[in-house]
Structure 1
Amino acid sequence: MTAAPSEPLAGSVVVLVSGSGTLLQALIDASADPAYGVRVAAVGADRDGIQGLARAERAGIPTFVCRVSDHLDRAAWDAALAETVAAYAPTLVVSAGFLKLVGPAFLARFAGRYVNSHNALLPSFPGIHGPRDALDYGVKVTGATLFVVDEGIDTGVIVGQVAVPVEDDDTVDRLTERIKAVERPQLVDLVGRMVREGFTVTDRKVTIP
């Protein structure tokens, strides 16, 4: 697999969310500094009334909602999501707690340009319960991974990772919060570099100049 950024609007990203939007807020805060060089062009969600959308609206960022239930089937939703995101011509699409798996139409449109932040050290503990699964397994180190989304579940090419030690008295909530504390700056740093400097995806390697 070889891909590179296409030539949409330089410096813009679309962020997809499903919940509270703390990762999104980190990107919004960073983008307030012109030196960061990244503009959040729009924030999309798969449901109404979430805090992530409210964060975007407070920052004056355009928002949209694309619900599966509003479409004939999952394929139609996937195509509609791809068209909606494409209208903002993003350099990069960022999944920041977006809980829907996109399909072939979306991946074809944004091949190599759709990244997701996951709260475990992939390939260990994919899925939506990374911190819980890490605790249950008894690992001593977990963390956060930014990766390029592909057709699998958290199987894409890894852009970057940051480690978090697991403490003996950790709960899922405590561990989750400590992972978030390092996940946010990693996301801001790597998204910024990918957008500002460009990147390539070749086989299992992401290169940022």
Structure 2
Amino acid sequence: MSVRNAIILICVLEILSAALAISHFGYTLEGLQAVTRYSGRVSLIVFSILFILLPVHEQRLSAFLSSKYFLVFALTHGIHLVQLLVFVYLSGNELIPIRLAGGFLAYAFIFAMPVIHHGNKTGKVSDQKFRWAQSVYLYYVWFIFFMSYLPRVQGKLTHIGGSYWEFVVLLCWVCMLLGMKLPALVFQRRK
């Protein structure tokens, strides 16, 4: 898939998820919260594809999501970030410093990785450094998704919207991602 088509696909998915959220919750603050949550689900889908296919199936990932797959995910999660910032500003919710710091670092990784990937493709970043950065990126962003859903399932975050079972399913999915990733790494090392 070309980068252009991947970006169009992401934009269509974001628009559809926003339309679905607004159709269920209306043009309210609760509707904006749902738009933000649903956008996070789109990001999780794109990240899931990256997490499962990298580094072993990079060619499949390039064919499926474009050769600039880190850029596609950065765009997807950037849209989610804008929606999240607007919601937090309009709702007046207080930010939790430790969550803010962890999220900031995750976004720094997310927005830096397309540049690092391009540097590797142009020979400015060595393969070894790129593989290291890619591993840190994938597992840290996975950890942030895990830590996004765990406190919701535990009931530690209030006023977040969504249902308990929605968060249970999403937490299970994030855990299954790691479960799918580990055997691929073991088999890769045996080769």
Instruction: Tell me the TM-score normalized by structure 1.
Output: 0.27
Larger % of helix: which? 2
Instruction: Tell me the TM-score normalized by structure 2.
Output: 0.29
Larger % of strand: which? 1
